[in-house]
């Protein structure tokens, strides 16, 4: 307190501190002596005049203020440092990665789990720089370039750290507010994916569309618009004549039931999402919410309902973040579980989802190998999402068992397996077509889904591809097309199902994930063959099965078609593989081939009143003999793969983040531990 009044009243003693100064020290009174010595002397005198208590209190005050000063100085320093660092990093970022959107980590490689030891940079610090791709990835403007290992390394590391921090901050913010997507659902923020462990307690969140809202939208091109138009036309037929039923019969303007579960609608949900068909999606969602009921006394095929319904619901949940789809997925998943109650734990083919009973087909106790080994991606994902390990346990057991079985031929498996003995049956017949196809596909895809750690799956896959090379590959005449035939008790048959055309895409996916480069070479030759299965036919559409000519004969093409095999069911496998090939090579010819196929579907299978139909005769352009059936996979797979094939956006279902199930439903790749 500095006041004349206080000075007059004398120093107060108790409640507060008073510093009393004599009148001679008042500015303007007496002469103004401001010499150092005088000041020192006068201060000392004042100090001595204070009581002991006053002196102690003043000392204490000084000490207290000094401590406060030190603390606030260091805090400000930190704050200042972080501000300057941040803006520096921002500048560097802009200089080094022009156009990089920080909130869009999708440009970085596969989702990887944070290293728990890397406390400071939990999100991205462990991500190794993307490996230079073995082949060119996508069109040049979308290619991910490997960072240069040169003097820039440190700055790049800094940049990564800056990105990590900003992404981390972005994530924290996201957890506080859900993102509402125009596609009608609340998208929850956390996209982390974890493999299920035996101690799953907390359910996982959807992988969702983390970067979609932030990144520049890649404009939809003409060919994609043509796919949207085709989808709308197909959907119109389904809506007008088959709404809520399994399949459209577009000619008779009616429908057919298989399981009575709105199969086409459920199979098409994620396609609508990907194509951006908001209204159609909303309408279908309403049907799922109000009318999709699994408590029905109906027999369903375990495999078909898993890949189409469970797979469709799971992927729609991931894309939309809408928990309705997860609830439905849980429901059907639980209802399918009785299939695994067999003596061998190899599941039965059929389940009554209302009664909770399962059984094999009436005529045999065998199941199909492809069916029991191509439900794993879906059940494993269901475990991860629900925290309930029983789904994964059941399907993993099947894979482990098949891994140890005898009866394989250099990794190639027979087509049947007995649900009582757990042994392969009908030994000696090997194909990559019907009844075995997706066994091979799921070996690779489970390995990818699980973060490339499950070595038995990889071993079985690699061995099988060697088996294909050794026993099933041949070249046709006159064009010398490499094709995959079949082996029956040591006899080679030059027969190839259209179904086998999944293989080039799978091989390319394996090569993209670091497997042998010659797999990519094989993929390139096989996709050419699959294309020729269309191009050499009168309608430009492939039949269900072809036989290749092994010997040159005048006037004969490579591809021969038997009358019983000349139907086309609107199958997806070739466009599926074209999609992978374009994504990994950027070679436009694959888009052009797909475009030809779409035009031929429009020419020969489109029904004017709505919908597309399977045809009976691909060799007769003037009468392809429409069959009056639109398979659900035309919407679930064929049109989806077409749309993705024509897209130049590698983040539209990024193949380092998602793995497609065998019905084209994308499921997240789990973050490697
Ligand atoms: C689809 O249900 C799946 O792709 C399955 O793996 C094979 N058959 C059809 C499409 O052809």
Q: What is the signed CA dihedral for 654, 658, 659, 661, rounded to 10 degrees?
A: -110
- Residue 311 Cβ inside 6 Å of ligand 1? The answer reads no
Count CB-CB contacts under 10 A for residue 452.
17
Distance 375 CA to ligand 1 centre (A): 12
Question: Which listed residue (544, 631, 656, 663) is catalytic?
Answer: 544
- Residue 445 Cβ inside 6 Å of ligand 1? The answer reads no
Q: Which of 207, 181, 130, 145 is nearest to 653 (CA)?
A: 207
Helix or strand (DSSP H, E) at 51:
none
Count CB-CB contacts under 10 A for residue 62.
10
Give the C-alpha distances (Å, rounded to integers) separating 663 from 113, 307, 557, 628, 637. Answer: 27, 6, 32, 22, 6
Centroid of chain to Cα 642: 18
Binding residues: 662
Distance 207 CA to ligand 1 centre (A): 25
Q: Give the tokens for residue 339.
A: 């299939």
Report d(CA 400, CA 457) in Å as an integer: 9
Residues 6+ apart with CB under 8 A from 369: 402, 413, 414, 415, 416, 417, 424, 435, 436, 439
Q: Is residue 543 part of a domain?
A: yes
Buried b or exposed e, range 468-494, using 16+ CB within 10 angstroms: beebbebebeebebbbbbbbeeeeeeb
Strands 416-418 and 366-368: antiparallel
Give the C-alpha distances (Å, rounded to integers) separating 629 from 236, 388, 541, 615. Answer: 15, 38, 17, 9
Q: Is residue 36 part of a domain?
A: no
Q: Give the tokens for residue 105.
A: 């980590």
644 contacts 650 by C-beta, under 8 angstroms: no
Vertex 185 angle, CA 180 and 188, to 5°: 65
Q: Is residue 393 part of a domain?
A: yes
Mean pLDDT of residues grouped by 10 in the chain (673 residues)?
A: 34 35 34 47 62 73 67 43 35 31 25 31 27 30 27 32 38 34 30 46 66 73 98 99 99 98 99 98 98 98 99 98 98 99 98 98 97 99 98 98 98 98 98 98 98 98 98 98 98 98 99 98 98 98 98 96 98 99 98 99 98 98 98 99 98 98 98 59
Distance 368 CA to ligand 1 centre (A): 14
Sign of CA dihedral 258, 259, 262, 265: negative
- Residue 250 Cβ inside 6 Å of ligand 1? The answer reads no
Q: Is residue 172 part of a domain?
A: no
Helix (H), strand (E) counts: the chain = 21, 20
Residues 6+ apart with CB under 8 A from 383: 196, 200, 389, 390, 391, 392, 393
Question: Which listed residue (371, 381, 441, 573) is catalytic?
Answer: 573
Count CB-CB contacts under 10 A for residue 81.
10
Distance 247 CA to ligand 1 centre (A): 15
Distance 662 CA to ligand 1 centre (A): 6
- Residue 662 Cβ inside 6 Å of ligand 1? The answer reads yes
Ligand 1: which residue has its CA nearest to atom 8? 499
Atom of ligand 1 nearest to the CA of 438: 6
Report d(CA 360, CA 350) in Å as an integer: 6
Report d(CA 163, CA 160) in Å as an integer: 5
Say how many Å lie between the first and final Cα of the chain, rounded: 66
Length of the chain: 673
Query: Taking the CA atoms of the chain, what radius of gyration do you get in angstroms?
Result: 35
Structural domain count of the chain = 1
Question: Which listed residue (246, 304, 350, 486) is catalytic?
Answer: 304
- Residue 641 Cβ inside 6 Å of ligand 1? The answer reads no
Atom of ligand 1 nearest to the CA of 632: 2
207 contacts 668 by C-beta, under 8 angstroms: yes
Instruction: Verify whether residue 304 is a known catalytic residue.
Output: yes
Atom of ligand 1 nearest to the CA of 441: 6
Atom of ligand 1 nearest to the CA of 370: 6
- Residue 568 Cβ inside 6 Å of ligand 1? The answer reads no
Top mutation candidate among 663, 664, 665 for ligand 1, by most atoms within 8 Å of CB: 663
Q: Which of 417, 457, 456 is nearest to 436 (CA)?
A: 417
- Residue 433 Cβ inside 6 Å of ligand 1? The answer reads no
Give the C-alpha distances (Å, rounded to integers) separating 363 from 198, 295, 349, 359, 482. Answer: 38, 27, 12, 11, 37
Q: Is residue 195 part of a domain?
A: no
**CATH code of residue 621:** 1.50.10.10
Q: Give the tokens for residue 586.
A: 């950027």
The residue written with tokens 């009581």 in the block is 51
Can you give the pLDDT at residue 201?
45
Helix or strand (DSSP H, E) at 652:
none
Report d(CA 486, CA 347) in Å as an integer: 26
Q: Is residue 573 part of a domain?
A: yes
Q: Is residue 649 part of a domain?
A: yes
Instruction: Verify whether residue 544 is a known catalytic residue.
Output: yes
Report d(CA 248, CA 254) in Å as an integer: 6
Q: How many Å is the maximal CA-CA distance in the chain?
A: 130
CA atoms within 13 A on the CB side of 160: 20
Supply the range of the domain harboring residue 505.
224-258+362-667
Vertex 218 angle, CA 277 and 221, to 5°: 70
Binding residues for Ca(2+): 662
Q: Is residue 105 part of a domain?
A: no
Peptide bond into 478 cis (omega under 30): yes
323 contacts 317 by C-beta, under 8 angstroms: yes
Report d(CA 103, CA 212) in Å as an integer: 10
* Residue 16 main-chain phi, psi, to 5 deg: -145, 170
Count CB-CB contacts under 10 A for residue 372.
28
């Amino acid at each position: 307190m500095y006041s004349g009044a206080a000075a007059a009243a004398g120093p107060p003693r108790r409640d507060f501190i008073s510093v009393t100064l004599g009148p001679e020290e008042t500015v303007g009174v007496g002469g103004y002596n401001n010499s150092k010595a005088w000041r020192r002397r006068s201060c000392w005198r004042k100090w001595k005049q204070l009581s002991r208590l006053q002196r102690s209190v003043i000392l204490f005050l000084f000490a207290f203020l000094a401590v406060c000063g030190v603390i606030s100085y260091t805090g400000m320093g930190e704050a200042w440092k972080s501000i300057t660092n941040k803006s520096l990093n921002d500048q560097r970022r802009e200089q080094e990665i022009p156009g990089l959107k920080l909130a869009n980590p999708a440009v970085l490689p596969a989702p990887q789990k944070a290293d728990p030891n890397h406390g400071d940079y939990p999100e991205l610090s462990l991500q190794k720089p993307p490996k230079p791709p073995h082949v060119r990835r996508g069109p040049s403007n979308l290619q991910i370039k490997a960072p240069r290992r040169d003097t820039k390394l440190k700055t790049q590391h800094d940049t990564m750290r800056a990105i990590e921090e900003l992404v981390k901050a972005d994530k924290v913010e996201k957890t506080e507010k859900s993102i509402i997507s125009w596609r009608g659902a609340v998208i929850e923020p956390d996209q982390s994916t974890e493999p299920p462990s035996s101690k799953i307690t907390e359910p996982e969140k959807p992988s969702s569309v983390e970067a979609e809202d932030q990144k520049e939208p890649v404009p939809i091109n003409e060919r994609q618009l043509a796919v949207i138009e085709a989808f709308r036309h197909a959907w119109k037929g389904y809506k007008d004549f088959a709404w809520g039923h399994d399949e459209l019969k577009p000619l008779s303007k009616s429908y057919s039931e298989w399981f009575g579960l709105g199969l086409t609608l459920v199979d098409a949900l994620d396609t609508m999402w990907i194509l951006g068909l908001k209204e159609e999606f909303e309408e279908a969602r309403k049907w799922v919410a109000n009318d999709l009921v699994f408590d029905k006394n109906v027999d369903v095929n375990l495999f078909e309902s898993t890949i189409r319904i469970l797979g469709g619901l799971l992927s729609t949940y991931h894309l939309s973040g809408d928990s309705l789809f997860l609830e439905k997925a849980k429901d059907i998943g639980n209802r399918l579980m009785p299939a695994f109650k067999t003596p061998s734990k190899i599941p039965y083919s059929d389940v009554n989802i209302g009664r909770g009973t399962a059984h094999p087909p009436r005529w045999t106790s065998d199941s199909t190998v492809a069916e029991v080994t191509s439900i794993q991606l879906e059940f494993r994902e269901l475990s991860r999402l629900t925290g309930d390990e029983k789904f994964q346990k059941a399907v993993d057991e099947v894979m482990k068992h098949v891994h140890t079985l005898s009866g394989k031929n250099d990794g190639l498996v027979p087509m049947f397996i007995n649900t009582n003995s757990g042994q392969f049956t009908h030994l000696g017949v090997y194909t990559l077509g019907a009844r075995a196809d997706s066994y091979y596909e799921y070996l690779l895809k489970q390995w990818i889904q699980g973060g490339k750690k499950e070595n038995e799956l990889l071993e079985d896959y690699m061995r099988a591809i060697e088996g294909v090379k050794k026993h099933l590959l041949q070249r046709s005449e006159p064009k010398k097309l490499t094709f995959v035939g079949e082996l029956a008790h040591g006899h080679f048959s030059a027969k190839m199902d259209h179904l086998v055309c999944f293989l080039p895409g799978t091989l390319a996916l394996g090569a993209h994930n670091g497997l042998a480069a010659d797999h990519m070479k094989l993929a390139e030759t096989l996709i050419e063959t699959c294309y020729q299965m269309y191009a050499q036919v009168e309608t430009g559409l492939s039949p269900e099965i072809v036989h290749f000519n092994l010997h040159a004969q005048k006037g004969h093409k490579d591809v021969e078609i038997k009358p019983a095999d000349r139907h086309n069911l609107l199958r997806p496998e070739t466009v599926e593989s074209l999609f992978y090939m374009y994504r990994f090579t950027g070679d436009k010819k694959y888009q052009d081939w797909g475009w030809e196929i779409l035009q031929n579907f429009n020419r020969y299978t489109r029904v004017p009143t709505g919908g597309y139909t399977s045809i009976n005769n691909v060799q007769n352009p003037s009468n392809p003999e429409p069959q009056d059936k639109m398979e659900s996979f035309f919407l679930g797979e064929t049109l989806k793969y077409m749309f993705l094939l024509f897209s130049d956006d590698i983040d539209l279902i990024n193949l380092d983040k998602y793995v497609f199930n065998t019905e084209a439903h994308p499921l997240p790749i789990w973050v490697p531990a």
